[in-house]
């Protein structure tokens, strides 16, 4: 009856609230309106659809069922309920509802499309194709996007891009076309263009969750952690019961050094989806970082139970450096390696885990057998060009000469808070960081990517082809000051303890000492160094989550060490006294004198906590996290001799500098 219908203005007001993303207000308004007009099918339908979008499937289903009872000849509620069931993968139940919808109104393009998806899910392929064809006939744009998606999935990116652009010519705000172009740009490595396209899509549809997920992923790849966190938190706000949203949020909170928050997000994901193997793995990483090793081991083992072929769980246990595999686990890993069903990436993880298992048993011949296999397979999976490394370093050496530093004396930001710990990976930088971060005035943050980001940013918008470092010659003192400020602002999100000083422990910053000194002249820089053979072997034994692509071949890693030595020799020559060298072997031989030396360089007062660094309760985010929670040990000195028969190629490459480390 007309008396039971709410005024159209109330319906429009609720729609406006939803368009403004004021979802809770819209829901409250729906409920308040229904208290006066309990049988208004339009308000009921809006409430049901909105609750479904929030993932509140049970309540939404009941409400949409009531709408169907009130208006059994109205097509829209059948479509809405069928779509709701499809969101829950309940295709069998959705099919009769969607079929009823298109019988009542054959022009329901979305209902035809959802029906096609449902029929395809239950294996009724021919009927699904017919439903899709009816949908595409009603909406040629959807047909073009479906074909574009088919091309995209098959890797035919040019064809997919062409179709997306044809759609955008007719409809410039088409969200799915913009999103797919963003995916294509990201696949091509053009992450900034991908970000632009995805943001453009979200301008037209702010709550388009697939585009939000992709934007968050791209921002994470760009190391824009704060913005990525903001995107994923918005998804969680919109869909609090979506496990994927919590999983992705956790995955960006971790690299942002917000470890406890990351662990909580992984746990929330697991509350919603207890069988989520990836979340168990991520939770294990965070618990390990927080020093909760027993709980971390349990999480890794749970991941192994759920996904026996997932080699990363096994390697994560090996990478604790303190876990020991038993005979049954070793046999299990061998069987996985021999299985044809195991993916290449997992196989590499199994091989490195097996190598560590045999190394822990003192069987270095068998350990090397697996290290060699693992490195050979991983080298194929990564891309590294040693010639490019040498060329880049030559440009840096030529540009950053003594005259440059004389001309730009104190031209950067004078802030004294940053402490950079750099050097070759696996050379004791985590130990140095743990010692310094045990001081009450210093916070250890993470391996921050921001110096690299700043150097890359200088290459943007250069039509003349000029690149870093040459572009620095065109900058004025105020520009160097601003670059220093940019770094400090980017690092700020990682500083949660309020200490006056903080550590950036990105080892690969060693070629950037000149840039660091130019934009942050009062920053302290420590070079953590280790005997070349031990440092290079440490890298050959380490399977990195990403980056460090030079570390999977004896010749590559040896040449990389020579480049590291070359760069540090140059900085010593043009910036004498700027960098403090801390030799790993000296530190483990006489910890107290080295701690005193480090603190004097940093102009920090003595604190006993630095000597007892292993008692510090702080998150440690590197492969050495468990090792630096133990008192100092000397077993790592000269460890390379255990593998000496297999390292002839490495020794030959390093021959020019080995005499310096006798």
Could you tell me if 543 and 374 are in contact, meaning their C-beta atoms sit under 8 angstroms apart?
A: yes
* pLDDT at residue 634, rounded to an integer: 81
Q: Binning pLDDT at 50, 70 and 90, where does residue 621 land?
A: very low
Task: Tell me the pLDDT tens digit for each residue of 506-552.
Answer: 999 999 999 999 999 999 999 999 999 999 999 999 999 888 999 99
Domain limits of the chain? Answer: 308-381, 386-661
| For residue 652, pLDDT beyond 90 | yes
Query: Can you tell me the mean pLDDT for 428-438?
Result: 95
C-alpha distances out from residue 587 to 446, 510, 530, 634, Å: 22, 20, 10, 10
Per-residue confidence (pLDDT) for residue 617, from 0 to 100: 59
Return the CATH number of 386-661, one of 3.40.50.1970, 3.40.718.10, 3.40.50.300, 1.25.40.10: 3.40.50.300
pLDDT score recorded for residue 3: 47
If DSSP states are collapsed to H, E and C, what string results for 462-522? CCCCCCCCHHHHHCCHHHHHHHHHHHHHHHHCCCCCCCCEEEECCHHHHHHHHHHHHHCCC
Q: What is the pLDDT of residues 315-336, one digit of tens each?
A: 999 999 889 999 999 999 999 9
Residue range 99-130, pLDDT digits in tens: 999 899 998 888 888 898 899 899 998 888 88
pLDDT at 626 over 60: no
Return d(Cα 40, Cα 61) in angstroms, integer: 17
Cα distances (angstroms) measured from residue 392 to each of 379, 451, 638: 21, 16, 32
**Mean pLDDT of the region 343-355:** 96
Q: Would you place residue 21 in the very low, low, confident or very high pLDDT band (cuts 50, 70, 90)? A: confident
pLDDT at 100: 92
Average pLDDT, the chain: 91
pLDDT at 624: 47
- Measured CA to CA, the distance from residue 300 to residue 305 in angstroms comes to 9
Among 99-103, 121-125, 373-377, 620-624, name the one with the lowest average pLDDT.
620-624
3-state secondary structure of 417: coil
For residue 266, is pLDDT > 90?
yes
Quick one: which of 285, 278, 223 has its CA closest to 248? Answer: 278
pLDDT of residue 630: 58
Please name the residue that has the structure tokens 């913009």.
178
Has residue 82 got a pLDDT over 50?
yes
Region 594-618: mean pLDDT is 90
Between 122 and 265, residue with greater pLDDT: 265
Question: Could you report the per-residue pLDDT of 175-186, keeping only the tens digit for each?
Answer: 989 999 999 999
* Per-residue pLDDT reduced to its tens digit, 129-165: 888 888 878 878 878 887 788 778 878 888 888 889 9
**Segment among 181-195, 223-237, 260-274, 458-472 with least mean pLDDT:** 458-472
Output the pTM of the full model. Answer: 0.80
Both tokens of residue 80? 């809405």
Q: Does residue 288 carry a pLDDT above 60? A: yes
Residues 589-609 have a mean pLDDT of 96
Give the separation between CA 613 and CA 496, rounded to whole angstroms. Answer: 20
Instruction: Please say whether the dihedral angle defined by the alpha carbons of residues 283, 288, 292 and 296, taken in this order, is positive or negative.
Output: positive
Tell me the range of 219-233, 244-258, 445-459, 504-518 where mean pLDDT is highest. 504-518
pLDDT over 70 percentage in the chain: 97
């Amino acid at each position: 009856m007309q008396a039971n219908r709410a005024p159209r203005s109330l319906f429009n007001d609720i729609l406006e609230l939803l368009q403004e993303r004021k979802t809770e207000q819209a829901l409250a308004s729906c409920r308040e309106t229904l208290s006066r007009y309990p049988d208004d099918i339009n308000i009921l339908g809006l409430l049901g659809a909105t609750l479904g979008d929030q993932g509140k499937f049970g309540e939404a289903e009941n409400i949409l069922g009531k709408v169907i009872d009130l208006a059994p000849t109205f097509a829209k509620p059948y479509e809405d309920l069928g779509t709701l069931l499809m969101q829950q993968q309940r295709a069998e139940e959705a099919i009769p509802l969607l079929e009823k919808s298109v019988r009542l109104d054959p022009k329901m393009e979305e209902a035809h499309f959802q029906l096609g998806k449902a029929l395809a899910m239950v294996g009724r392929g021919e009927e699904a194709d017919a439903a899709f064809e009816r949908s595409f006939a009603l909406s040629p744009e959807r047909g073009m996007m479906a074909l574009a998606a088919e091309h995209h999935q098959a890797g035919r990116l040019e064809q997919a891009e062409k179709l997306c652009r044809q759609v955008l010519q007719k409809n410039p705000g088409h969200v799915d076309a913009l999103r797919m172009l963003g995916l294509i740009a990201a696949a091509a490595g053009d992450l900034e263009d991908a970000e632009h396209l995805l943001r453009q899509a979200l301008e037209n549809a702010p709550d388009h969750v697939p585009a939000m997920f992709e934007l968050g992923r791209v921002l994470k790849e760009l190391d824009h952690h704060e913005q990525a966190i903001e995107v994923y938190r918005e998804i969680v706000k919109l869909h609090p019961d979506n496990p994927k949203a919590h999983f992705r949020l956790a995955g960006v909170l971790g690299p942002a050094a917000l470890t406890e928050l990351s662990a909580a997000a992984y746990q929330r994901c697991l509350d919603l989806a207890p069988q989520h193997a990836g979340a168990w793995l991520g939770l294990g990483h965070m618990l390990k970082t927080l020093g909760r090793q027993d709980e971390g081991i349990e999480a890794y083992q749970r991941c192994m139970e759920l996904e026996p072929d997932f080699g990363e769980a096994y390697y994560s246990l090996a990478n604790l450096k303190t876990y020991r595999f038993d005979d049954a686990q070793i046999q299990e890993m061998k069987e996985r390696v021999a299985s044809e069903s195991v993916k290449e990436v997992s196989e590499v993880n199994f091989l490195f885990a097996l190598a560590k298992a045999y190394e822990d048993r003192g069987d270095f011949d068998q350990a090397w057998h697996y290290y060699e296999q693992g490195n050979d397979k991983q080298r194929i999976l990564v891309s590294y060009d040693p010639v490019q490394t040498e060329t880049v370093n030559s440009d840096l050496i030529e540009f950053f000469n003594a005259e440059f530093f004389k001309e730009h004396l104190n031209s950067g930001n004078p802030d004294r808070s940053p402490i950079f710990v750099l050097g070759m990976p696996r050379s004791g930088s985590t130990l140095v960081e743990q010692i310094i971060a045990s001081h009450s005035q210093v916070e250890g943050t993470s391996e921050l990517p921001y110096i690299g980001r700043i150097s890359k940013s200088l290459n943007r918008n250069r039509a003349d082809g000029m690149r870093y470092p040459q572009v620095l010659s065109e900058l004025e003192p105020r520009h160097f000051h601003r670059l220093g400020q940019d770094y400090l602002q980017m690092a700020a999100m990682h500083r949660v303890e309020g200490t006056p000083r903080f550590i950036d422990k990105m080892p690969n910053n060693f070629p950037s000492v000149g840039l660091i000194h130019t934009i942050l002249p009062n920053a302290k820089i420590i070079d953590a160094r280790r005997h070349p053979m031990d440092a290079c072997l440490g890298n050959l034994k380490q399977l990195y989550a990403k980056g460090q692509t030079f570390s999977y071949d004896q010749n590559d890693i040896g040449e990389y060490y020579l480049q590291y030595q070359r760069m540090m020799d140059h900085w010593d020559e043009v910036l004498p006294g700027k960098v403090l060298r801390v030799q790993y072997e000296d530190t483990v031989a006489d910890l107290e004198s080295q701690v005193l030396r480090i603190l004097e360089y940093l102009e920090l007062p003595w604190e006993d906590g630095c000597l007892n660094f292993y008692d510090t309760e702080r998150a440690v985010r590197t492969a050495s996290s468990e090792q630096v929670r133990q008192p100092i040990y000397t077993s790592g000195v000269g460890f390379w001799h255990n593998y000496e028969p297999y390292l002839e190629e490495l020794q030959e490459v390093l021959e020019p500098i080995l005499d310096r480390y006798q």
